[in-house]
Structure 1
Amino acid sequence: MKVLFCHRVTPVLRDHYRSSLPEGIELIFPNDLSDSELQRYAPDIEVAVGYKFTKEFLDQAQKLRHIQIPWTGVETLDFELMKRYSNLTISNSHSNSLAIAEHAVALFLSAAKKIVYRDSVMRKGDWSTRYNDVTSQWLSRKTLGVIGYGAIGSKVARMMKQGFNMQIYAIKRHPTTDQTEEVDFIGTLDSLDYVIKKSDYLLIALPLTPETKGLIRERELALLKPNVVLVNIGRGDVINEKDLYDFIEKSELAAVGLDVWYNYPKDRKKPLVKQNSPFEELPYLVMSPHSAFKVESREIPFTEDIISNLKAIYNQEEPQNRVNINEEY
C-alpha cells in the first residue's frame, strides 16, 4: 500500500512513521510539494495524507481510496469537488484534542478569575483591582454548556465535571447512548437555545461547516446569562464577529476567552494582523492566537490517529474519525 504525504513532514516524524508502520506500507515524503510534483506520484497511491487537493491530482489518483487529514479542521477541503469521487473516504485526526481541551479549561479559568485583566493593571504597580467592584466567578457546581460534544468538547466536559463538580449540558450532531450517561443533558442543535439559557459557562467546540457558520449571532448571544463565561476553541466564524464584539463590549459581567479568530496572517514572517473589530480593547477578554495545539513534545503524540488509520486501512479495517462528505465534517 502506497501512502503519499502531501504536506511538510519533519525528518523526525518521517522516521517515526517508518518505525511505527508495517513494512508493507510504502511511505512517500516528497521534498517538493508543488502541484506538478504531487501529481507525478498520484497514479500509484492508495492513501493521501494532506489537507488540500486539486481536481487534477484526484483525476490522476485512480487507485486513491482514502484521504487522511493530519489534524482536526477539514474546512480547507473543497467538498463540492470531493463529492464527485464517490469511491473516496476521508478521516481527520483528533490526536491534538487533549492539548486543545486543556487550553480551553485554561481560558475558562483565566476569564472567570479575571487573571489577564488584573495582571495588566498590576504591571503598572496599580493594586486597584483588589479594591474595586469587579469580582471573579465561581466554577464549582456551575453548569457548563458544550456546543460540539466531540473529541475536544467531551474532554473539557470531563475535566470540568471532575474538577469542579459541574453539570454538563451538551449539543452533538449525532448523540450516542453511552454519551447520555456522561452528561446531565445531551441534544442536537434543536436544543441549542435550551443549552445556551442553562449555561453559566459555554464552550464552543464546533467545526466550521455550512450549517455552523454564523450559528451564534445576536439572537443567541442575547439568551446568555449576564455573567456567562464564554470560550470559543472551535472556529471563529461559528460566532458572528460583530455580534460577538458588541455583546462583550456592552456586557458588564460576562467574560470571554478566544483562541480562534476571523483574520489570520497570510505569512508567518508578517504576524501583525488586526481583527475587523477592536477586541484588544476589551478588558475582560482573554486572547490567544489559535495556539491551543502548541504544547511541548507534541509532534509524536499528534501522529497517533494517522498511524492508527493507516494500519486499519492496510489491514482492511474501518478507519476512525470518518468525515461525512455531505455534512462537510
Structure 2
Amino acid sequence: MGDQDRPGVLVSGFEGPSGICKDHVGELQKHFHLITMQELLENKTQLGPKIQAVYIWDRKPAITLELLQSLPALKIVASPGSGLDHLDLKLIASFGVKVANTPQAVSSPTADMGMALLLAAARRVVEGHQMAVSPDTEQFSRNWLGQEVTGSTLGIVGMGSIGYKVAQRARAFEMRILYHNRKRRESEEEEAVGATYCERLEDLLQQSDFVMLALSLTSQTQGLIGRKELRLMKPTAILVNIGRGLLVDQDALVEALQTGVIRAAALDVSHPEPLPRDHPLLKLENVTLTPHVGSATYRARQQMMENLIDSILACLSGLHIPNEVPFK
C-alpha cells in the first residue's frame, strides 16, 4: 500500500517538545499517511479532506472549531493518557467525531510515580541528595529526620484506575488507606486493598498523613484543594498531586507551605507547565517537583501508541472502538 493510499492522520509534527515520539514514527507510517499541522496549514484545500483521524501527542494539535471545520472526513480524535481536559468533547461530538484515549497504558506508571513522590517527600530525598553532594557538607547530622511512611494514613482523592493502583502499592507499606470518590467502589474492591470510603472529603483531609490527588480535572474538581481544605489537613501532612495542577489553588498552597499549615508537597503537575522561573513554589525547600512525567516510561508510551493505532483502525473499519470515550 503506497503512502497516499493509507488513511490520512493529522499529527502535530516530528520535531520539538510536542512532536510525536521519534521511535513511534515508523510504526505509525505502516498504517497511516501522516500529515503534519504545518503541511495542513500550507495546503488545507487538498489535504483537509484526506484526514480521517487526529493523533494527539502532548496535547497537540489543539482541536478547535476552525480545525474541525477544515476536516470534513474526520472520524476520530485519538488522545494518549486518561485526562480529557484539553478536549472540548461537546464540540467534537457535534461534528459526529469519536474520541478515544489510553487509560490502561498510564495507570501503573502514574501510580508508581505517585508512590515515588510520596516517598521522596516523606524521606526528604531531594534535600538529602543536595546535602550529600554539597561541597559545604562536613558531616551528616543524626537529627536530620524525615517522616515515617509505614503504618501512616494515606488519603486518596480519586479512586479510578490510577487511585486504585496507588492503594495496591500503599498496602505493601502497611498504610491505612482512606479514599474519597464520586462513586463508592464495590466492597470486594475495598477489601482487596484495605481501603475505607470517606463520603466527605473533609473527613479524609483531617485524618490523613499523606493526601494524594489522582483525579481528573473537570469543572467540578477545579480548585478542589484550596485554603479551607489545606487548613483541614494536619500540620504534619504532605500533599501529593499526580492529577492536574488546577485541582489545587496554587496561591493557597504556597501560603500553606510557607506558614506551616502543611509540612510539604510533592507535585508532578502544576499550572502552568512549566511554572514561571520566579514562581515561589520553585524556591521552597519543602516542595518536590517533577515535570509532569507520571506516565513517562518507554513501555507506557509504546503501549499508548499501540492503543491509539488500534482505536483509529477500528473506527475507520466501522468496528467497536477500544477505549472510546463516551459523550455524556
Shared fold (TM-score, shorter chain, > 0.5): yes
Moved more, 114-123 or 231-240: 114-123
In structure 1, what is the equivalent of residue 79 of structure 2?
69
In structure 2, what is the equivalent of residue 268 of structure 1?
none
Q: Please, which of 155, 178, 198 is the counterpart of residue 145 of structure 1?
A: 155
- In 1: Cα distance, 2:91 partner to 2:98 partner: 13
**TM-fit CA distance, 1:243:** 0.5
Q: Is the 8 A contact 1:262 1:275 kept in 2?
A: no
- The secondary structure found in structure 1 opposite 2:32 is strand
Distance 1:274 1:118, change over 3 A: same
Q: Is the 8 A contact 1:263 1:275 kept in 2?
A: no
Q: Is the 8 A contact 2:40 2:47 kept in 1?
A: no
**TM-fit CA distance, 1:220:** 0.5
In structure 1, what is the equivalent of residue 54 of structure 2?
48
In structure 2, what is the equivalent of residue 228 of structure 1?
237
TM-score (normalizing by structure 1): 0.79
In structure 2, what is the equivalent of residue 257 of structure 1?
266
Q: Which amino acid aligns with 1:13?
A: H
- The secondary structure found in structure 2 opposite 1:14 is helix
Number of aligned residue pairs: give it: 307
In structure 2, what is the equivalent of residue 167 of structure 1?
176
Q: Which amino acid aligns with 2:76?
A: H
- The secondary structure found in structure 2 opposite 1:222 is helix
Moved more, 108-117 or 308-317: 308-317
Structure 1 residue 29 corresponds to structure 2 residue 34: yes
Structure 1 residue 5 corresponds to structure 2 residue 7: no
After superposition, give the CA deviation of every residue in 1:122-156 in whole Å (9 maximum; x if it has no partner): 42443676244x53222112222111222322222
Distance 1:59 1:176, change over 3 A: farther
- In 1: Cα distance, 2:240 partner to 2:320 partner: 37
Distance 1:60 1:114, change over 3 A: closer
Distance 1:34 1:213, change over 3 A: farther
In structure 2, what is the equivalent of residue 22 of structure 1?
none
After superposition, give the CA deviation of every residue in 1:256-289 in whole Å (9 maximum; x if it has no partner): 2112122335xxxxxx93254x123322221222
In structure 2, what is the equivalent of residue 15 of structure 1?
26
Q: Is the 8 A contact 1:196 1:224 kept in 2?
A: yes
Q: Which amino acid aligns with 1:82?
A: I
- The secondary structure found in structure 2 opposite 1:73 is coil
For 1:1-329, list aligned pairs within 5 A.
Answer: 2=7, 4-8=9-13, 9-10=20-21, 12-17=23-28, 27-33=32-38, 35-36=40-41, 37=43, 40-50=46-56, 51=59, 52-79=62-89, 81-82=91-92, 84-85=94-95, 87-94=96-103, 95-122=105-132, 123-126=134-137, 130-132=141-143, 134-161=144-171, 163-177=172-186, 179-183=189-193, 184-186=195-197, 191-251=200-260, 254-265=263-274, 273-274=276-277, 276=279, 278-296=280-298, 299-313=301-315, 314=317, 316-320=319-323, 322=325, 324=327
Distance 1:257 1:14, change over 3 A: same
Q: Is the 8 A contact 2:231 2:261 kept in 1?
A: no
Runs of 5+ unmatched residues, structure 1: 20-25, 266-271
- In 2: Cα distance, 1:175 partner to 1:322 partner: 21
Give me the CA root mean square deviation.
3.1
Whose helix fraction is larger, Structure 1's or Structure 2's? 2
**TM-fit CA distance, 1:213:** 1.3
Runs of 5+ unmatched residues, structure 2: 1-5, 14-19
- In 2: Cα distance, 1:6 partner to 1:53 partner: 11
